[in-house]
Structure 1
């Protein structure tokens, strides 16, 4: 039974890690060149790291919480990823523009970068915050037992009616 629970926690970590890798893929793509491709290595590293985090979770609930936290952090970083990839795209567009049209290419690339980063910021902050809150509730929340003992206060003055 312990092997089944451990494999299920690893599967949860891989699924949430895959979502986190997809959310971070624009940032990974911004750092790739024709000669060096680090994006596939980083894309495989994120799900494995998330699977390790979820494997060492003590309960299934905490594994889901850690998965949501990893995915929420990646989605929350989506505006930075979009900014990086739009900067890379702008650099490529300006570099390949014809003679005399570099200014128009820079304006168009800048406006497109602002639009992409703005949409990513709007979605990343809202969805990332929701995922982070779910992860915090699942990771830190739980059953708390509070025992209330009602008794008489021995030091209180007694009133006689």
Structure 2
């Protein structure tokens, strides 16, 4: 029975690790050079999620750790998008001809602002919600109320 519970906790952690990996994809794409190291780093996030889920004492805490992992990744989404938009702007400007250089700089800047703004809107709201859910699930304990009556 302990093995089955551990397996379920590991599966839960792996699912949340995969979601965190998806949320961090812009950062991994920005640092990708084509040699496959960025994809292995991305899968390391999913493995870390599985390990966090496996080491949780119960399923509720496994969900809590998963929500914390995904919440932190989504909360950092604006930074990931900012890094990716900088990389794309650099590549765009480098490939632009001298006649279109100014338009490439302006377009890359506006696109970077738009994408980072959208990621900030989504990341801060959804990331905050996920972090709060994770904190409640991870830190919440038993609710015991002890009523002490005054001695007469």
TM-score range, shorter chain: over 0.9
The RMSD of aligned alpha carbons is 1.1
Which string of whole-angstrom CA distances, capped at 9 and with x for unpartnered residues, describes residues 38-64 of structure 1? 211111100100111111110100000
Residue 33 of structure 1 deviates from its aligned partner by 1.4
Q: TM-score, normalised by structure 2?
A: 0.96
Once the two structures are superposed, residues 105-139 of structure 1 have per-residue CA deviations (whole angstroms, 9 ceiling, x without a partner) of: 00100000000000000000000001001000000
> 1-side partners of 2:55 and 2:72: how far apart?
19
Task: Report the Cα distance in structure 1 between the residues aligned to 2:122 and 2:133, rounded to whole angstroms.
Answer: 16
Answering whether residue 102 of structure 2 is matched by residue 135 of structure 1, we say no
**Residue equivalent to 2:104:** 105
Higher-helix-fraction structure: 2
1:39 & 1:143 partners in 2: Cα distance?
42
- Alpha-carbon separation, structure 2, partners of 1:44 and 1:87: 24
Residue in 1 that maps onto 2:125: 126
Q: Which runs of 4+ in 1 moved over 3 A?
A: none
Q: Hey, what does 1:117 align to over in structure 2?
A: 116
Partner of 2:32: 32
Quote the Cα distance in structure 1 between the aligned partners of 2:126 and 2:38. Answer: 24
2:93 match: 94
CA distance in 1, matches of 2:14, 2:52: 10
SS in structure 1 of the partner of residue 24 of structure 2: helix
Aligned mates of 2:82, 2:139 — CA distance in 1: 32
- Structure with higher Rg: it is 1
| Partners of 1:47 and 1:37 in 2: CA distance | 16
The Cα offsets for residues 73-125 of structure 1, whole Å up to 9 and x where unpaired, read as: 00000000110110000000000001222111001000000000000000000
Unaligned runs of 5+ in 2: none
The unaligned stretches of length 5 or more in structure 1 are 154-161
- Give the superposition deviation at 1:144: 2.4
Does residue 67 of structure 1 match 2:66? Answer: yes
